[in-house]
Each structure stands twice: as structure tokens, then as C-alpha cells.
Structure 1
């Protein structure tokens, strides 16, 4: 199976069934096929064919989904661009990906000399001349650019075989079927939004509704109106929802579960959210280089709070020590994954690709974790974020979880800063819950109760808002840079 023909099969099987909707329009399966064929014909008329790259600098909207399948129908590749990027940042991605066409929002200007199409001008009817779908599992489907928080953004090459593998794994892990309805709230320029919230539901015959920009004040109104059975979000979103006034008690009876990913969540947040809103947060773990997901807590089965679950069906997981050998159960080391979902490599970067993918297919994640006897993975931090204080290894997540357990704290971020005596010391940053007051002395006391002396923050700073990357991850580089400038 390839995704280039998925829309055709849905239209044949259930032409009048719901496919994808946003606040402006709702398409049946037959409607979606017509729009995809029309868009494919439009792209072909603009000279786009197999092997070409189409860049989409669009907000979340139905046309993004249409253009995905239109490009794949022609054998072309899509590279999503964060709409918030500057022209200079966008130009770097366009140049690195060798994009031949840029699709932008109505009224947006072109960037450089690349051919540009306004989404308002996208052909919506008349699919005459649209080529038959290209079915090539080895064809490059997506170029997802890493966030750049640890260096210059790199193009992650995901082919159709990767997407086919990941969506099949997601179907099995999420127990998704045609009766499901997914609410998309994550950005479509990120692989999580594309794979978990669009491709997987469409693969299983389910429908997708695309929400407008996330707003905690209106989110549950949308949920009650659209009646989704699942959605996927990041810990920041769940923290904001959990911080809503106590009198906010929405009808969540349609929701089977919600996925929590992209960044580690505290066990306290997961338990508090489920207790309040009545449906489980299923925490998972993955990265763009593995086409989104590698582990997840079972939807139907024992969930272990504080872990990110077990390997997806069809993937392998192992933990390696500094000597390159597997560690014993319960010991921390670098997480490696293997499966048909592992990327083809980084575009134009063979040496960096070889540094993270072994000859036998294991992907080095750069994350540090440990496995228990049942195969559940607990993350303890990024290998590059590990703090070494006086020769002792410290993983930030353990400290962040302690800080986040304070009822007044919305989120916490921990970094290491240079110190003449200790080499590095721990510095923590916290953000208060809306309407709450953070007591720094009480946080220090909490850390003294729950953490060994060398793990305790030397300084805890209160910020109005913790900096985030475009996909909602804590931007610790900005925190370090801020300390340097200060």
C-alpha cells in the first residue's frame, strides 16, 4: 500500500463518508478525491513531477491535506515550512531542499525567486489531465526539518515506505478504526501532526477535523461540538487545560484517549488531567528521524505513569551504555530504535546520517532512558542535556518532575551552567500556573526533601513564560543564551 492511492480507495469504499474538515469547509471522501485530483493537475501544469519538492508554508487547513496527497499522487515530495519562520529562515529551507514550488497563504509574498502559488488560487475543480497515482514505496514523501534547537536544522528524509510502516504501527497501537474521529490541534509542519492526526486516521477509514489555532479557552467548546474520539497534543497544552478554572467541566464522553508526546510530561500532570477530565493521556515517545513514534503506553492495557510505554508493534528498542554494549535492565543509557520507520537519512548529510544510523539499522536517538522488566521505557533526559556536577551525572527530567509537582508550578526547565568549582551546577526555571503564586523557598525545600544534594538547583528562577520551540518543546538553548547575555 502507498499513500498516493489512499484517497482513491476511500472514495470507492465510502464516497459520502466524512474525510477531513476545518472551520471553513467539510469534505466527504468523494469531495477530497476531487480536490486532490484538481490540485494534482494544477501542480502538474506548474511543472511539478516525480522527484520534485513542493514547499507548503501554510497554517493548519484542509488545503494542506489536499496538497499532501496531490504532490504524492505525482511522485513529488512535500517539505512543510513553519509559517512563523522569517523569510531568511524559510529561504534556507527552500534552498537546502531544492524546492521547485512554494505554496503560501493568501496575501503572503514570495521568497526569493522560487515559483510561488497562493493557496487561494489553488484549483478546486476539474481534475482532467491529472496523472494516475505514482506508487513507489521508495519515493521520498516528506522532508521534515528538525527544530534546530541543537544546531542547524537538517532535512529528515522520510519515504513512502517509512510512512506506510509508521501509520500501520499507529493503527495497531492506537486500536484505531473507521468509527474514530481525530481532532487535529498540533501544527501540520511537524511530523506528529501529519502522521498521528491525519494519515493514521485516514488510513483506517476514520475522519479528521482540523481545529483553528489552539486556545485553552475555546478548546473544549470545539471538542464538545466535533465529538472526536482521540487527539494528540504536547505537555504544554495539557498543562494549560489542566490549569483552567475548576468550574470548567466539559462533556468529554466521546474521547477514548489522548496522546501526549513531543516532550516528557510529569506523572503528576498525567494523573491530575485524567482524574479531572475523565479520559486517559497515553504518553508516547518518538522523533522525526523515526517517522514520529517509537514507544507508547497501551490504549487498552496497563499504562505505567512516568514511562513512555513500550515499543510500537514492528519496532525494536535497546539501551546502550557508554561502551557501546547493551546495559542491564533498569540501568540508564542511550536509547536506540530499529524498524521500517527509521528515516532514509539527513538530506545531503551522509556523515551525519552515518553517525546516527548504524550499518544494521539502529537509530541513535540521543535520548537517555532505561527499560523495566516489562519493556516500558522511562526517559531521563537528552544525552546532550546531561549535567555533570563534580563528576556526578544529573538528568534534568528528574528535577523538572519534582518542581512540576508543586501545585503552583505550570512547567519547569532545568539546565546546567558552567561553574568554576563543580564544572557545572543546576539552574532551574519555572512558570506559574494562571492565578497562582510560586514560592521559591518552598520549591527549594521540596527539592531538599526529594533530591540528593548534588541534584538540587543552585538557583530557581521564576519566568512569566518558558521559551518554546515551534512544536511546543522547551527551548533550553534560549534559556542558556539568556544566562550568557545576562
Structure 2
């Protein structure tokens, strides 16, 4: 084939395993032959709308087969796919559409109002609605019906751009990481090598596809291998357990809060989880209590660390090493390399902290339309600066300590909030927490813990701070506690620290409900 990108994957799979189930969504299934035919029709339909090589095609909606069909159809044409976060408001969506220069927006019915407002504001040429034509939108299924089925094999090189995936944008405007077809392919190869995905894999994808972990760490590697992908539109702990049992799910990726929500259900102890071969986690370190809860059901976590700019896999900790290397993010993926460097650029010695840098065929080509940001992010044009602080042990295992920008200095000592948060989570009443630095006349900065209590639990500031004494050095212990109802999170489950700072840095201590 002339197409060496991921847009050729459905055709390649269809010629190898045409009758094997590729996708499951709600009560429907799609074989690899059916997926290929639908992608082919959509590609012809998009071409008829004027989409050409290099054009950008945006998608807005929860997990759905149309997300993947649009991604593959864009790749079949040499166009660039732009997934959008469904949690964004219309002006934020319009920014992504305008910044990427998208010409077509495909959207789900749940996002119709935001899609229409954003498309109008960004001047999108064509809006395509999954639920049919109307209100200025073309109908998705109608386009497929009218699309041709003639063979389509455009020349697409591995280094050509595949997608623009926007970072979370918790500080400043989001930046679009340009991921090439090679980036996505090598990341998938890394996953296949390190997690032993099998051809009979049944992968449950409940993390949002518009984020890199849900798409690139679970969904696409499974499709590359020829396994079955089960798509859920949104996370519901009860439904996840039900799906695992009913469809004999073998592979699940989620973030710690999702795993905790499942384990908190009454049916947790009785749900048949025997089909699960791999439970993997990312987005945040797995708390010890969560690991212990799953070990009682015979399930050990595979953990990882990554970022959008690395497609996203950087480090991986196999389940066999999860207990011996508890707290570690693992070693670099097979075809990826890392360094931990001091501020002067020298490599840090084992046990010493520094910024983690990443190099490999999965590292982005750059930020869309931002050459200065690209130059700042890619040291020597190759090594990606992550902005994360890590240390490496004597065996080469990396421990992510915190974000460079989240660290604060108290009395001349560096305080890494993630370390404090891990201990806070061992308090029996604490469900979630975030530690931030706030100004202090004596020490420069001191810690403040923002805590969410478990339902029905009771705890106050002296009790929570008392729990830390003897477990942490005195300078690491926060000087105040705010008890909140919720913590702000991204769609991938990460706590948004800048919002926590804005909301709680100057708030009185005690209980503070969500404003």
C-alpha cells in the first residue's frame, strides 16, 4: 500500500481478519471488514466535501465508533484529525477549531449546541451531526450512504502529521501537539511489546478517546493487534463492572479515581473479574490503598507515565514489579529513552531529583503553529522537556516526584506536593486531596492541603495534620487544611492545580463548599 499511516490500518486488518469483531458499542458490533467499508465510504464523502491532504477534520463527542471512523478516514486522505474535549465551553472549542484551521467538524448530538456555536464562531465550512441532518448540519450516516466504495490508497508517509491533540490548557492557551503517523505507530508498538496485548484481547475503553491515553495506549494498540474494542460513552462504575463480567473483558485502563469508584460499589466483591488479564493505570500514581484493594481480588496494576507530547507512553511498570517497585512509574518503554537532568543540564545521579527528558520515535514533531514553544520544549531538537521532577533508583526505575511548577520552597527546602498527598490519602477519612504552596512571611511558602472527605466521614484540621506527624518531615507538613466538597479535574481525571490555587489559596480554613 502507498498509505503507510494509520489510515491504512482498517484496510490492512480487513485483509487479515475480516470477520473478527473490531468494535462493540451499546448493542452493536462491527467486524474489521465493516469498519474498513465504513471508513472508506466516509473518506470518499469527506473528499466530496473538499477535504484534501493536510486539511484538518475535528471531532467533538464521547466515545463512539464514529470517532475512530473519522480518525481513520482522515488518515486515509492524508488529512489531520483534531479530537476536541467535550468538557470545553463553546469559546474554548472555537479556539481549537480556529487554531487548528479545521474545515469540517463532526459532532455527537449531546454536543450539538456547543458544536453549532463554536463552528459559527470559527467559520467552519461543514458541520456533520451523528444524529442526522438539520439545523445547518449534514447527516453522518447520510454521508456514509452516499460515499463511494472504490479503493482508496493515498500516499501517506510515516512522518506526515496524523493528529493535533490539544494539551489540557490548565495554564494559558492550550497547545496543539502534532503527532505523526510514525509517532502513533511506534507508541502502539511500544504498548504491544510491553503489555503483551493478544489477538483475542477484549479491551474496555472507558477513558475518553479525545485524551491520548484512552486512544493511543489502549484503543489503537488493540486494533493494531486485531483485538476487540468495547467503547463506553462515559464512565459509570456500575456499568463498567457489569461490562467486564458480561463481555469477559481482558484489558482495562482507567485512572485511580475510577478504580476507587468501582471498588466502593456493593457488587465489587461479587463481580466476576476472572477474565481480566491486565488492569493498567495512568494520569496519577496509584495510591497504596487502591493497589491493596485490587490485590485482594488477585489483580495487580500495570502503571505508566506519559504525556500528550510523547503520544503518550514514556515509562511503564509491569504488574510483576508493581509490589517490589511500589510508587515507581517504571522504566522507559522499549523504543523510548529518558534522562533525568539537573538545572544545569547534567544527568542526575541515582537518588537525586531532576527534570525528566524523553527521546524516541513517539515524541511529537512539535506544537501546531508555535515554533517558539516547540524550540523551548525540544532540547537540542530531540529531547522533550516534560516539566516533571523525577528520581531514578539504582535499578533504573523512575519515580515521578511532582511537576516542576507544582514544587514550592519552604524555608529553603523543596516541597513536592505529590509526596505529601500520598501520605494524606492514608488517612481513613480522606477521599481526595491536593497540596498547594501559599505565601508565608516567615518561610516564604508553606503548604496548604485541600481535602475531600469520604461520604459520612468526619475529620478536622488538627486531626488531618496530626496524621502526618511522624510520617513526614516537619517542613513538608502543611500549615493549614481546607475541607472541600470536590476538587476540579480534567476529563482524564487529573486534578487541575492552577484552579485549586485560584480557588483555595486565600480561602479561610475549615469547610469550604464548591463555589
TM normalised by structure 1 equals 0.96
Q: Number of matched residues?
A: 485
Is residue 408–residue 438 contact of structure 1 (8 Å, CA) maintained in 2? yes
Counterpart of 2:464 in structure 1 is 443
Q: What is the deviation of 1:485?
A: 6.6
Q: Please, which runs of 5 or more residues in structure 2 have no aligned partner? A: 132-138, 508-515
Summarize the alignment of residues 193-204 of structure 1 with structure 2, pairs less than 5 Å apart.
193-204=214-225
Residues 433-452 of structure 1 show CA distances to partners (whole Å, capped at 9, x for unaligned) of 23433354332112112111
Aligned residue for 1:219? 240
Task: Provide closer, same or farther for how the CA distance between residues 188 and 301 of structure 1 changes in structure 2, counting only shifts above 3 A.
Answer: same
Does 1:56 pair with 2:70? no
Which has the higher mean CA deviation after the structures are superposed, 299-308 or 332-341? 299-308
Local SS of the residue matching 2:109? coil
Partner residue of 1:154?
175
Matched with 1:317 is 338
Match of 2:316 among 296, 299, 308: 296
Change in Cα spacing, 1:483 to 1:246, as seen in structure 2 (3 Å) is same
Question: Which residue does 2:299 correspond to in 1?
Answer: 279
- The structure 1 residue matched to 2:395, chosen from 360, 368, 374, is 374
Secondary structure at 2:501 match in 1: helix
* Structure-2 separation of matches of 1:371 and 1:243: 34
Q: Which residue of 1 aligns with 2:82?
A: 79
Q: Which residue of 2 aligns with 1:29?
A: 32
Q: In the alignment, does 2:286 pair up with 1:265?
A: yes
Residue 132 (1) aligns with residue 153 (2): yes
Q: Judging changes above 3 Å, is the alpha-carbon distance between structure 1 residues 247 and 370 closer, same or farther for their aligned structure 2 residues? A: closer
Matches of 2:488 and 2:22, distance apart in 1: 36
Change (3 A) 1:319 1:379: same
**Gaps in structure 1 of 5+ consecutive residues:** none
CA RMSD of aligned residues (A): 1.7
Residue 459 of structure 1, aligned match among 480, 499, 507: 480
Pairwise CA distance, 1:267: 2.7
Q: Is the 8 A contact 2:482 2:504 kept in 1?
A: no
Q: Residue 202 of structure 1 aligns to a residue in which SS?
A: helix
SS of the residue 2:237 aligns to: coil
Once residues 150 and 235 of structure 1 are traced to their aligned partners in structure 2, the CA distance between those partners, rounded to angstroms, is: 23
Q: Deviations over 1:260-302 (max 9, x none)?
A: 1012332332222332x32111111000011111011124556
Which SS does the other structure have where 1:384 is aligned?
Answer: coil
Question: 1:470 Cα deviation (Å)?
Answer: 2.2
What is the rounded CA distance, in whole Å, between the counterparts of 1:85 and 1:28 in structure 2? 33
TM-score (structure 2 length as normaliser): 0.91
CA contact (8 A) 2:279 2:300 kept: yes
Deviation at 1:340, TM superposition (A): 0.6
Q: Which residue of 1 aligns with 2:408?
A: 387
Residues 411-438 of structure 1 deviation map (CA, whole Å, 9 limit, x = unaligned) = 2111101122211110011222234333
Q: Give, in angstroms, the shift of residue 361 of structure 1.
A: 1.2
Provide the rounded CA distance (Å) in 2 between the counterparts of 1:83 and 1:327: 40
Q: Which residue in the other structure is 2:496 paired with? A: 475
Match of 1:45 in 2: 48
2:234 aligned counterpart, secondary structure:
coil
Instruction: Give the Cα separation in 1 of the matches to 2:459 and 2:271.
Output: 28
C-alpha displacement at 1:241, in angstroms? 2.1
Partners of 2:6 and 2:185 within 8 A in 1? yes
Q: 1:309, 1:376 within 8 Å by CA — same for their partners in 2? A: yes
Structure 2 residue matching 1:482: 3-state secondary structure:
helix
Give 1:304-453 correspondences, 5 Å limit: 304-359=325-380, 361-453=382-474
The equivalent of 1:119 in structure 2 is 130
Q: Residues 256 and 280 of structure 1 are in contact (CA less than 8 Å); yes or no, is this contact kept in structure 2?
A: no
Matched residue, 2:162: 141
**2: distance between equivalents of 1:462 and 1:186?**
28
State the SS of the aligned residue for 1:480: helix
The ranges of structure 1 where at least 4 consecutive aligned residues each deviate by more than 6 angstroms after the TM superposition are none
